[in-house]
Amino acid sequence: MTVLSKLVEKTESGFSPIPVIDISDPESKHALVKACEDFGFFKVINHGVSSELVSVLEHEAVEFFSLPASEKTQVAGYPFGYGNREIGRNGDVGWVEYLLMNANLDFGSHPFLPGLLQNQEIFRNALLEYTTSVRKMTCDVLDLMTDGLGIKPRNTLSKLVSDKNTDSIFRLNHYPPCPLINKNTNDGNNVIGFGEHTDPQIISVLRSNNTSGLQINLADGSWISVPSDPSSFFFNVSDSLQVLTNGRFKSVKHRVLANSRKSRVSMIYFAGPSLTQRIAPLTCLIDNEDESLYEEFTWSEYKKSANNSRLSDNRLQAFERKAVAISLNDS
C-alpha cells in the first residue's frame, strides 16, 4: 500500500476522508504532515499498543462507570476526579460522565482509585501501562512530524511531552444511551454528548469502543462523523501545536453526539508540556519574528486562560499578535 493510498479508507457507508497513517512506515511522514495541515486529525494504525492492555483498561472503565452514582460521586473533584454532565466550571453541560486524572501521578497513591473497584490493583496497573505505551506512541508520531517538516533535532516536539514534569492528562468518558433522542419533545434533534471545542494541549490521542458519535469540523464549516475503530487510535492537533507550527497545523474543532441505543466509552490522552514551558512559533518554521502569528506564552498561562473559557470559545484569539489581527480585520 502506498502512502497516498492511506489517505482514505473504505467504510460501510462509503469512503471516509479521515487520513489513515501507518506509523511503522517512515515514509508516512509526508502523509502525516498533510493530514495535520488539511484536517488537524488522523487515524493511526500499526501503533504497537497491546490490544490486550486496551481491553483490560476498557473493562475496568466500564466497571467503574457501572457503579452506583452514590459511590462514583465520592471521588468527584476539580480538576481531577469524577464528573457528571457538567464540563468544567463555566456552564457547559453534556450527556456524559467522566473520570479525569493526572497522567503523571503515581497511580499507586491516587486518592480516588482505592476502595471503588474490586480490582483496584488491576485498574491501577493497566492505567500506568496504557499511559506509558500511549506516550511512547505519541512521541513516535511527533518525531515523524518533525521529519516531515524537516525540523532538527528530531525530538524538537516529542521532548515537550516526554519530560517527567510534563502536564499530561488522562480522561475516561462514558456516554450512556440517551433516551431523549427518541422523545417527540426533542423534535428529532441531536443530543450533545460533549460540545464542540478544540483541545488546548499539544496533541490528543483518543481510542473508543465500537460506538460512533465523534465528529470533526472541516475547513468549510461542515461536520463529518468519524467511523469508529476500536483497534486504532485517533490523533488531533491541539492549540499549542498550532502555535508551534505558526498556524500550519490546524487545531481541529470536534464534538461528540449522544447515541440512542449504545453506550460509548472513550479514553483520551492529552499530551501537554510542563507548566513552565514557553510556547511560540518554532523559529525554524518562520523567516523572521514579524511572521509570527502568536504572542509567546507559557503553558501555565494558556492552561489558566483555557480553564476560564467556555468549550466553544476561540481560546487562541487572545494570544494572536495584535498587528496580525488588525491586518486581517482590515483586509
- The ranges assigned to domains in the chain are 28-319
Q: Is pLDDT of 52 > 70?
A: yes
pTM summary value: 0.90
> pLDDT over 90 for what percent of the chain?
73
**Element (H or E) spanning 63, and its range?**
helix 51-65
Q: Is pLDDT of 273 > 70?
A: yes
**Residue/partner pairs of 65-72 with CB below 8 Å, 24 or more apart:** 65/97, 65/99, 65/172, 65/174, 65/265, 67/116, 67/117, 71/116, 72/97, 72/116
Q: Is pLDDT of 310 > 50?
A: yes
Q: Is pLDDT of 322 > 90?
A: no
- How much is the pLDDT for 9? 44
- How much is the pLDDT for 13? 44
Tell me the residue type at 47.
H
Radius of gyration over every alpha carbon of the chain, rounded to an integer in angstroms:
20
Computed over every residue of the chain, the mean pLDDT equals 88
Residue-wise pLDDT for 285-308, tens only, equals 998 888 999 999 999 999 999 999
Active site residue 89: no
Nearest-10 Cα torsion for 71, 77, 81, 86: 90
- How much is the pLDDT for 10? 41
Nearest to 51 by CA among 241, 294, 229: 229
Please tell me whether residue 191 adopts helix, strand or coil conformation. Answer: coil
- How much is the pLDDT for 15? 55
| Active-site pick, 264, 278, 310, 315 | 264
Give yes or no for a cis peptide into 153 (omega within 30° of 0): yes
Q: Please compute the mean of the pLDDT values over residues 64-75 and round it to a whole number.
A: 90
* Cell of residue 132, nine digits: 506509558
Residue-wise pLDDT for 77-96, tens only, equals 888 889 999 998 899 999 99
Statement: 28-319 belongs to CATH 3.30.1180.10: no
